[in-house]
Amino acid sequence: MLIHLPIANLPVDMFLILGMGLAVGFISGLFGIGGGFLLTPLLIFIGISPAVVVASVAPQIAAASFTGFMVYWRRRSIDFALGAMLLVGGAIGTASGVWVFTLLRDVDLLDLMIALAYLSLLGTVGVLMITESVQAINRARHGKPADLRRPGSHAWFHGLPLKMRFKRSRIYVSVIPVWVIGIIIGFVGAILGIGGGFVLVPMMIYVLRVPTVTVIGTSMMLTLVTMIAATVLHATADHLVDTLLAGLLMIGGVIGAQFGAHAGQKMRGERLRLLLGILVLMVGLRFAYELVVPPQDIYSIRYIGSS
Amino acid sequence: MRRVLCALALILIAYDVRPAAAERLVVSLSNHRVRVTSSFAGEDLVLFGTVEPDRGKSLRASYDLVVTVTGPPQTFRTRRKERVVGIWVNADSREFVRVPSYLAILSNRQVGQIANEETLRRLQVGLDNFLLPQRIGLDIADTVRNDPYRVAFVQLESELGLYREEPTAVTFLTPTVFRAAIPLPADVPTGNFAIDVKLFADGAMVARTNSALEVTKVGFEQYVADAARDNGLLYGIATALIALFIGWFASVVFRRD
């Protein structure tokens, strides 16, 4: 059934969008991520303008992370103090990201930077996840006990000043790396139109040594707040949020996420991480392919304005 | 400069029409207001018209008709990719300033057969002859028709169905009664469209008239588009609240514990 999107200004198949939301929602529920890094390229691929996609995916990620947020909030596994400190960095990162976004668009380098950023980010995270999970699977196969030490023992940044105690997570760390992580996630999110959960969670585990109990819930709190802010900012600044598109994605997304979460409970953690790593790496390679292979048409058009 | 050009064009048109003012064009459009609703999937408009003799003068044996439909002006940038250290990047670009967002040239046969090159160029008949001003340095000017950026721009717009040259879209039902089909694609830009109808006989323009149509969003489409444009902040907050509501609703409906 074709439906005309009011802001994107083109007709799309309603069930295709619902289906995409459902599929990405399933993956996000399965791995506990927002799924923006999959949804954004998919929507651009079906012909919706990248600017509208980046702006309209934000409320969809907000909806998905709010569902997760409620679940973790009921289990009391959200570290609000840690989330607030991450948000301080996140706000700075988002603001500078939006600034750089406009700057790059003006000099026509945005497409290249987005592709390079996706490639390097997804490539690195993908390879790291695959190696880590393969090692874990091998360890389990050879019957060795899992590494009981918390990963990333004492590193230089643990000696930084401004230490703070985060009670719910039972950690005592300097707020400087917390802010830096917030800044990185905010910056990357603003430029790439992704929540950044798949980067934030490993960073929190390996750098801040946040225990698994609070890591997902706290990461969802950060995603939720930044994506709500992004929705309002995009709507005010460039009027490109397509509510109809976002609404369809949300409905598909929240339903898919439930099935994904259910399926995820039946799978082992390291298998899940291996699958997610492969998925992340594949999306990264897709960007590499686009950069290296000669394009079908070396020319492209970009709309500048109506004056 | 533009004013001088316009004046010049008007003189030329007047000159063109005066010696052969024996015909008058009467046209009527099937629909002057195209409504974009949430089920809008493009629309075909029909322009009907007749060639009327003027003050007892007689009509010629055969006519040619060219209908040029132009959408509201927009500015675009055409970019060209080049290989730099192994990767393809947008290396160069040109800006097309205030060119039609929609441009259809509809005729009863190939425009090249209707009049000679010079006439077509002067009257901007055909995609090749339509003025598409580019910003080149500090100047804004149209380029030669085989300029690679111009060719690429027209090609890409044609692929989107927004620029089209259709030599079969005008049909003469009798030697003096014609109909023209105006195809509007689903992603047609909203705004005011100008319709310019030119009648040719023996390679010269003998009459000209114009009409207009408006593409507007209505109902839900209009409501959303207006809200997004005029009340960005409220619209954003409303969208965020919808997101929170759907998220909360799902967490309640699918609650397991």
Say what the alpha-carbon torsion angle B235, B238, B244, B247 is, to the nearest 10 degrees. -80
pTM of the model: 0.77
Give the model's pLDDT for residue A182: 92
Which residues of chain B does A243 touch, with a Cβ-Cβ cutoff of 8 Å?
A: 224, 228, 235, 238-239, 242
Quick one: pLDDT band at residue B74, thresholds 50, 70, 90?
very high
- DSSP secondary structure string, A42-65? HHHHTT--HHHHHHHHHHHHHHHH
CB A23 within 8 A of CB A260: no
pLDDT band at B107 (very low <50, low <70, confident <90, very high): very high
Task: Please say if the pLDDT value at position B202 is more than 80.
Answer: yes
Top-confidence residue, B195 or A149: B195
Average pLDDT over residues B26-31: 92
Mean pLDDT value of segment B76-96: 87
| Confidence at residue B223, expressed as pLDDT on a 0 to 100 scale | 85
The pLDDT score that the predictor gives to residue B257 is: 56
Helices and strands: H and E segment counts in chain A: 10, 5
Which of these CATH numbers, 3.40.190.90, 2.60.40.1930, 3.40.220.10, 3.40.50.1780, describes B20-217? 2.60.40.1930
Nearest-CA residue of chain B relative to A5? B38
What span, in angstroms and rounded, lies between the C-alpha atoms of A160 and A244? Answer: 47
**Contacting B residues, span 51-70, partner chain A, CB-CB under 8 Å:** none
Q: What are the strands, taking DSSP E only, across chain A?
A: 2-5, 10-13, 163-166, 171-174, 299-305
* Domain segments of chain A as ranges: 10-292
Q: Is there a contact between A301 and B89 if contact means CB atoms under 8 Å apart?
A: no
Residue A271 to chain B, least CA–CA distance (Å):
24
Q: Phi first, then psi: give them for residue B4, nearest 5 degrees.
A: -60, -45
pLDDT of residue B14: 46
Strand bridging mode B191-201 / A2-5: unpaired
Tokens (6 digits) for B174:
């009798």
Place of tokens 């899940």: A272
Determine the distance in angstroms separating the CA of B218 from the nearest CA of chain A, rounded to an integer: 10
| Contacting B residues, span 121-160, partner chain A, CB-CB under 8 Å | 149, 152-153, 155-157
Beta pairing partners, B193? B213
Q: Do A299 and B81 touch (CB under 8 A)?
A: yes
Residue that wins the pLDDT comparison between A118 and B210: B210
Could you tell me the two tokens for B47? 């322009």
Residue of A nearest to B88 (CA): A291
Q: What Rg value do the Cα atoms of chain B yield, rounded? A: 23
How high is the mean pLDDT of chain A?
83
* C-beta atoms surrounding A211 within 10 Å: 15
> Residue A37 is encoded by which pair of tokens?
């890094």
- Reported ipTM: 0.82
CA angle B123, B142, B79 (to 5 degrees): 135
Nearest residue on chain B to A108, alpha-carbon basis: B90
pLDDT of residue B85 exceeding 70 = yes
Residues 6+ apart with CB under 8 A from A156: none
pLDDT at B27: 93
Instruction: State the Cα–Cα distance between residues A193 and A240, nearest whole angstrom.
Output: 13
Q: What is the pLDDT along chain A (307 residues), one digit of tens a residue?
A: 888 888 888 888 999 999 999 999 888 888 777 788 888 888 988 888 877 888 899 899 889 888 888 888 888 888 899 999 999 998 888 888 878 877 887 777 777 887 888 888 889 889 988 998 898 888 888 876 655 445 555 666 667 777 888 878 788 888 888 999 999 988 888 777 777 788 888 888 888 888 877 888 888 888 888 888 888 888 887 788 999 999 999 999 988 888 887 887 777 777 888 888 898 899 889 888 888 888 888 888 887 777 6
- Assigned token pair, A137: 């699977």
Residue of B nearest to A236 (CA): B232
pLDDT tens figures, A163-199: 888 878 788 888 888 999 999 988 888 777 777 788 8
| pLDDT computed for residue A174 by the predictor | 84
Number of neighbouring beta carbons within 10 Å of residue B245: 13
Q: Give me the mean pLDDT over the B37-51 stretch.
A: 90
**Which position has the token pair 């959303």?**
B224
> Rounded CA gap, A41 and B111, in Å?
42
B226-243 burial, b at 16+ Cβ within 10 Å, e below that, comes to: ebbeeebeebbbbbbebb
Tell whether A263 lies on the interface with B, counting CB pairs under 8 A.
no
Count chain A–chain B contacts defined by CB atoms under 8 A: 198
Q: What's the sign of the alpha-carbon dihedral B229, B230, B236, B242? A: negative
Question: Cβ(A268)–Cβ(A103) under 8 Å?
Answer: no
* Residue among A120, A111, A119 nearest A288 (CA): A119
Cα separations in angstroms, A223 against A13, A200, B181:
29, 9, 51
Please give the pLDDT value at position A147. Answer: 54
Going by C-alpha positions, the residue among A62, A18, A21, A11 that lies closest to residue A260 is A21
The answer to whether the CB of A39 falls within 8 A of the CB of A20 is yes
Contact A8, B183 (CB under 8 A): no
C-alpha span between A32 and A276 (Å, rounded) = 10
Distance CA(A194)–CA(A189), nearest Å, equals 5
- Long-range pairs for A142-150: beta carbons < 8 A, 24 or more residues apart: A150/A209
How far CA A130 is from CA of A118, A135, A207, A305, in Å, comes to: 17, 9, 18, 44
Q: Give me the residue from A71, A235, A303 closest to B76, CB to CB.
A: A303
A7, A298, A302: residue with CB nearest B228: A7
| Residue A37 and residue A198 in contact, taking contact as beta carbons nearer than 8 Å | yes
* Rg of chain A taking only CA atoms, in angstroms: 20
Sort out which chain A residues have CB atoms less than 8 A from B247's CB and list them: 62-67, 69-70, 250, 254
Q: How many CB atoms lie within 10 A of CB A276?
A: 21
| Boundaries of every domain in chain B | 20-217, 218-257
Tens digits of per-residue pLDDT, A54-89?
Answer: 889 989 988 988 888 888 888 888 889 999 999 999
Q: Find, among B219, B223, B240, B203, the residue nearest to A66 by Cα.
A: B240
- Of the two residues A159 and B204, the one the predictor is more confident about is B204
Provide the pLDDT confidence category of residue B17 given band limits of 50, 70 and 90.
very low
**Both structure tokens of B20:** 């052969």
> Quick check: B145 and B131 in contact, CB under 8 A?
no
